[in-house]
Amino acid sequence: MKYLLTSAGIKNRSIHNALLDLLGKPIADCSALCIPTAGYGHPLSGPGRAWNFISGKEPQCPMCELGWKSLGVLELTALPSIDKKRWVGWVRQADVLLVNGGDAVYLGHWMRQSGLADLLPSLDKTVWVGLSAGSMVMTPRVGEEFVESKPSITGDDITLGVVDFSIFPHVDHLICRRTPWRPQRDGRPVSEVRHTRSTIKPPLRSWMASLRSYPKDIGNGLRGDETWQGVLPNAGKCYV
Q: What are phi and psi of 111, to 5 degrees?
A: -65, -40
Beta strands in 143-184 (DSSP E): 165-168, 175-178
Q: Residue 231 class from Cβ within 10 Å (0-12 exposed, 13-18 middle, 19+ buried)?
A: middle
- Supply the pLDDT for residue 163: 85
Lowest mean pLDDT among 98-102, 112-116, 141-145, 184-188: 184-188
What pairing do the DSSP bridges indicate for beta strands 236-239 and 226-232? Answer: antiparallel
Integer Cα distance of 156 and 163 in angstroms = 18
**Reduced 3-state DSSP string for 97-125:** EEECCCCHHHHHHHHHHHCHHHHHHHCCC
Q: What is the pLDDT of residues 186-226, one digit of tens each?
A: 443 333 323 233 333 333 344 334 433 333 333 333 333 33
Is domain 2-239 in CATH 3.90.1070, yes or no? no
CA–CA–CA angle 78, 130, 157 (5° rounding) = 75
The answer to whether 52 and 36 have CB atoms below 8 angstroms apart is no
Beta strands in the chain (DSSP E): 2-6, 31-35, 70-73, 96-99, 127-131, 165-168, 175-178, 191-195, 226-232, 236-239
Residue 58 has pLDDT above 60, yes or no: yes
The amino acid sitting at 50 is A
Give percent of the chain above pLDDT 90.
42
Residue 24 has pLDDT above 50, yes or no: yes
Integer Cα distance of 131 and 137 in angstroms = 10
Domain ranges (residues) in the chain: 2-239
6 - beta bridge partners?
131
What pairing do the DSSP bridges indicate for beta strands 127-131 and 175-178? Answer: unpaired
Q: What are phi and psi of 35, to 5 degrees?
A: -120, 105
* pLDDT higher at 100 or 181: 100
- Supply the pLDDT for residue 32: 97
Please report which confidence band the pLDDT of residue 49 belongs to, taking 50, 70 and 90 as the band edges: confident
